[in-house]
Amino acid sequence: MTPQDLDSIKSQGATYLLGLGARIRRTRARRGMSRRILAQSSGVSERYLAELESGKGNISILRLRQIANAMGLPVEDLVCDRVIDSPEYTDLLQTIRLADPAELRQVCAALSVKRRLPHQRRRVVALIGLRGAGKSTLGAILAEHLALPFTELVKAIEARAGMDVNEIFALSGQATYRRLERQCLEEFVEHIDPGVLAVGGSLVSEPASYKRLLDSCITIWLTATPEEHMNRVVAQGDPRPMAGSVHAMDDLKQILAERDSLYRRADYIVDTSGRSIADTSNEILGLPGVLEIARGEEVA
């Protein structure tokens, strides 16, 4: 890391602390709390609060939580550096916090449709899911049936970087990979004609990239049992999942559980467990919108 990088990080940190201090000051004022009352309620000294509100205090998360609790709001409302000062925004956040998973999916779907601009018509069939779900195999078959080009986003990333994924992570880290992933996704949905796209399983954990995918593509989650996921990866000649960890299956189940609600935001869910490739591909070809894309039609 260069001295310029360090200076940039320090500058960004200072800017963030100024914003944090301003959010605490505004929230305290809205609550009608003096600094002394907030200090008494939170157990954080008045002097420290003054430093924090001026942007000079580098507070621990536990102390910040004490301050948030004293003002009766979640700590994330203070930590978040994107604040919209409106009652509607506050009400929406509260509604989201209290919503169950089914209600959250409805909110996401409604906002996605509302925010989809006219030019964001969907011209791509995108396959999502964990490794071993069959994205590469089914993607190639679908593309052939539909007479459309097939792209694997991971290979596009490797081509842009001039190295494979493992090297990208080892040499440049997660942030660089995600930047390349977003660039390749944008290029595909903006400049490529109708096609079939297979994306890496972890893209769904990147909110901006995943929203772009949902807005621009007909998304299909290819799912399978954890055992089938693992067996398919090993059958492809990659023994690493089994050799790398005695808890590989437990890890896989945990990843599936953590991403389940994200994957379920896809337009369609296709279970590939115990099914032939032909049977699964026929189901996908029959999904609404898929054949329309093959005919060059844009799907809203």
- C-alpha–C-alpha distance, residues 250 and 255, integer Å: 9
Question: Domain range holding 252?
Answer: 104-294
- C-alpha–C-alpha distance, residues 123 and 121, integer Å: 6
Among 47, 67, 98, the domain-final residue is 98
Whether residue 290 sits in one domain with residue 192? yes
Tracing tokens 């890890």 back to the chain, one arrives at: 251
Whether residue 186 sits in one domain with residue 243? yes
| Residue 7 falls inside a structural domain | yes
Q: Tell me: the pLDDT tens digits for 121-144?
A: 678 899 999 888 899 999 999 999
Helix, strand or coil, per DSSP, at residue 156: helix
- C-alpha–C-alpha distance, residues 121 and 105, integer Å: 21
Is the pTM above the cut of 0.85? no
Instruction: Look at residue 238 and tell me whether its pLDDT is greater than 70.
Output: no
Q: Tell me: the pLDDT tens digits for 177-187?
A: 889 999 999 98
* Cβ proximity of 129 and 222 under 8 Å: yes
Residue from 28, 137, 12 nearest 81 by CA: 12
155 band by pLDDT with thresholds 50, 70 and 90: very high
Structure tokens at 289: 């919108």
Whether residue 263 sits in one domain with residue 117? yes
pLDDT given at position 258: 81
Eight-state DSSP code of residue 272: -
Tell me the residue length of the chain.
Answer: 300
Residue from 188, 58, 183, 59 nearest 123 by CA: 188
Among 55, 79, 98, the domain-final residue is 98
| Residue 299 falls inside a structural domain | no
Percent of the chain predicted with pLDDT > 70:
84
- Rounded to the nearest 10°, the torsion over CA 97, 252, 160, 147 is -90
| Residue 300 falls inside a structural domain | no
Whether residue 78 sits in one domain with residue 9? yes
Whether residue 279 sits in one domain with residue 133? yes
What is the number of structural domains in the chain?
2
Tracing tokens 């000294």 back to the chain, one arrives at: 45
Q: Which residue has better confidence, 113 or 271?
A: 271
Whether residue 202 sits in one domain with residue 72? no
AA letter at 201: G
Eight-state DSSP code of residue 193: P
158 band by pLDDT with thresholds 50, 70 and 90: very high
| Residue 138 falls inside a structural domain | yes
pLDDT given at position 3: 67
Whether residue 65 sits in one domain with residue 7? yes
Q: What is the CATH number of the domain that holds 31?
A: 1.10.260.40
- Rounded to the nearest 10°, the torsion over CA 260, 109, 219, 290 is 140
> Strand 195-198 to strand 124-128: parallel, antiparallel, or no bridges (unpaired)?
parallel
- C-alpha–C-alpha distance, residues 258 and 154, integer Å: 22
Measured between its terminal Cα atoms, the distance across the chain in Å is 45
Whether residue 175 sits in one domain with residue 240? yes
* Cβ proximity of 229 and 249 under 8 Å: no
Q: Tell me: the pLDDT tens digits for 14-36?
A: 888 888 888 888 888 767 778 88
The mean pLDDT of 204-228, rounded to a whole number, is 90
Whether residue 278 sits in one domain with residue 182? yes
The mean pLDDT of 72-91, rounded to a whole number, is 72
Instruction: Look at residue 213 and tell me whether its pLDDT is greater than 50.
Output: yes
Number of other CB atoms surrounding residue 243 within 10 Å:
10
Whether residue 147 sits in one domain with residue 7? no
Q: What is the CATH number of the domain that holds 290?
A: 3.40.50.300
Among 83, 98, 113, the domain-final residue is 98
- C-alpha–C-alpha distance, residues 153 and 210, integer Å: 13
- C-alpha–C-alpha distance, residues 69 and 77, integer Å: 11
- C-alpha–C-alpha distance, residues 42 and 37, integer Å: 9
Whether residue 84 sits in one domain with residue 69? yes
Whether residue 249 sits in one domain with residue 275? yes
205 band by pLDDT with thresholds 50, 70 and 90: confident
Q: Which residue has better confidence, 105 or 48?
A: 48
pLDDT given at position 28: 82
Tracing tokens 């990333």 back to the chain, one arrives at: 157
> Strand 217-223 to strand 195-198: parallel, antiparallel, or no bridges (unpaired)?
unpaired
Residue from 188, 197, 203, 187 nearest 218 by CA: 197
